[in-house]
Amino acid sequence: MKFELQHADPASDARTGLITTAHGQIRTPIFMPVGTCGSVKGVHIKELEEQVKAQIILGNTYHLYLRPGLDVLRQAGGLHRFNGWQHPILTDSGGFQVFSLTGIRKLKEEGCEFRSHIDGSKHIFTPENVMDTERTIGADIIMAFDECPPGNSDYGYARRSLGLTQRWLDRCIKRFNETEPLYGYEQTLFPIVQGCTFKDLRREAAMYVADKGADGNAIGGLAVGEPTEVMYEMIETVNEILPKDRPRYLMGVGTPQNILEAIERGVDMFDCVMPTRNGRNAMLFTYDGTMNMRNKKWENDFSPIDPNGCETDRIYTKAYLHHLFKAQELLAMQIASIHNLSFYLRLVTDARTHIEQGDFTAWKRSITDNLGRRI
């Protein structure tokens, strides 16, 4: 993987760049739609390409490991061939999913034992077998196995957790270097910075990760319940240390406002389930604010969903989408998901344009308040 810094905003740490992988290029800042089980829920690949204009999508190691399973993925030739997406893919390590299985998982130095949420069967994730699993899935960018501690962890737990994450990172790197890609193209391993909301732990974690010299780095363990201002402070703390010539990926964040604030602080890559999850629940994001499409106010509004949006936004009206949600038609969730994803991609693309023009900060300030209001 290669990363080329292209533009820097004169009034902030925002920047643009170009990531080159075996499956294509990614222009940053970028939002990555989440395809948990190898599929972005309700959105066809052609819609991802032509309307959403996605450049890279995510797969989830935990879910893909359980279903369809590694044998199927290996026989298929990896996730790209299995799901038909021929552009870059990133896989998380499954750490967040495993550690959210409170009550059905056991953490120890070797790894994490857990029971499947599907059938209760017993499994273990270790740094070594997670690297093997991500090799089998075949994503272009893969994540190290880490512990994602709760956002309200006390200092003692956070320090112990960080030590475990660092030891696991060393084992991940060792295993990654000992193994070869399975499908004829290179993969890239990103370490993850943890440390909860403690600045000294975040600094320690960032320095430990930076010393590994990876091609890119991730920031994890944020947007898990802490105040947004604390999240922004942790991003600033970490990005003061992470190398500027490598992409920075903020995991699982977040709202449009969160994304713009993080871009301003030097983050390049984002993912979140919010566009599709909220869309399935009738919430649409727009530059004018959020719309609840179940509200009666849309019943007789025959204007396009978003006249400046993607093709789907221009074809369908607010009144029709309101009707679909009231009638519980599956098409409602599909339209809303396409709209939200295309909006998120439009947001980061517009951010890139304004960084290039040198007026990102002023543009961000002019739109932030509207993004958070309810229409």
Q: Which residues contact 296 (CB under 8 A, 6 or more apart)?
A: none
**Residue 184 assigned ligand-binding role:** no
Find out whether 71 and 47 touch, Cβ atoms under 8 Å.
no
Q: Which of 92, 268, 306, 313 is catalytic?
A: 92
Q: Does the annotation mark 215 as catalytic?
A: no
Q: Which of 9, 140, 268, 271 is catalytic?
A: 271
**Residue 25 assigned ligand-binding role:** no
**Residue 221 assigned ligand-binding role:** yes
Give me the helix-helix angle, 199-210 and 228-239, nearest 10°. 40
Per-residue exposure over 232-270, b if at least 16 CB sit within 10 Å of its own CB, e if not: bbbbbbbbebbbeebbbbbbbbbbbebbbbbbbbbbbbb
**Residue 146 assigned ligand-binding role:** yes
**Residue 95 assigned ligand-binding role:** yes
Give the burial class of 129: count Cβ atoms within 10 A of its Cβ; 0-12 exposed, 13-18 middle, 19 or more buried: middle
Q: Does the annotation mark 92 as catalytic?
A: yes
**Residue 194 assigned ligand-binding role:** yes
Binding-site residue set for substrate: 92-96, 146, 194, 221
- Active site (catalytic) residues: 92, 271
Binding-site residue set: 92-96, 146, 194, 221
